[in-house]
Every structure is written in C-alpha cells, then in structure tokens.
Amino acid sequence: MANHKSAIKRNKQSAVRAARNNHVRATMRTFVKQVRTAVANGEQETAKAALTKAVPYIDKAAAKGIIHKATASRKISRLSKLVNNLA
C-alpha cells in the first residue's frame, strides 16, 4: 500500500482513470456489437444507424488514448465494410 502523500494521490488518480477507461471501452464494444448484430440479422437500416453512432465513439476512444489510433481505424474500416456488403 502507498505510504506517502504523492503515492496515495497517484493510487486514487489511477483508480479514477481506470474506471473511466473501462467505461469508455465497454461502451465502445456495445456500439460495435450493435452493428454486428444488425448485420447478422440482415437489418440494413439498423446497421447503418448503429454504425453512425459507433464511428464517432471509436474515434473518441482513440483520441483519449484508450485504444490505439490504428486499432480504431481498423475497427471502423471493418465495420463499414460489413455494413456496405450488406446492401
């Protein structure tokens, strides 16, 4: 356990940041799952709507450093490809 003031503060900050990162990552995964589910069910309009919600959130996660920018780009590319091939 942390024994001095700065280490205690670091522990608290780390916990807060980890909680925020976990929330953003989980929400991003939910958006991605919504797109994939809509594509699997063949619902083109739902998939497009879900994709328009997912893309900015994935970009935001990359901007905050929660995921790497190349990972974000890859996720967006693959989701877009799925939705576009549905037509």
User: Looking at the predicted structure, is the pLDDT value of residue 87 above 80?
Assistant: no
CATH T-level assignment (fold) for domain 5-86: Methane Monooxygenase Hydroxylase; Chain G, domain 1 (1.20.58)
Q: What is the pTM of this model?
A: 0.86
Distance CA 40, CA 27 (A): 20
| CA end-to-end distance (rounded Å), the chain | 56
User: Looking at the predicted structure, is the pLDDT value of residue 63 above 80?
Assistant: yes
Rg of the chain, C-alpha, whole Å: 17
Distance CA 12, CA 19 (A): 11
Q: Structural domain boundaries of the chain?
A: 5-86
User: Looking at the predicted structure, is the pLDDT value of residue 73 above 90?
Assistant: yes
pLDDT tier for residue 3 given thresholds of 50, 70 and 90? confident
Average the pLDDT over 28-56 and give the result: 96
**Backbone angles phi and psi of 42, in degrees to 5:** 75, 20
Percentage with pLDDT > 90 across the chain: 94
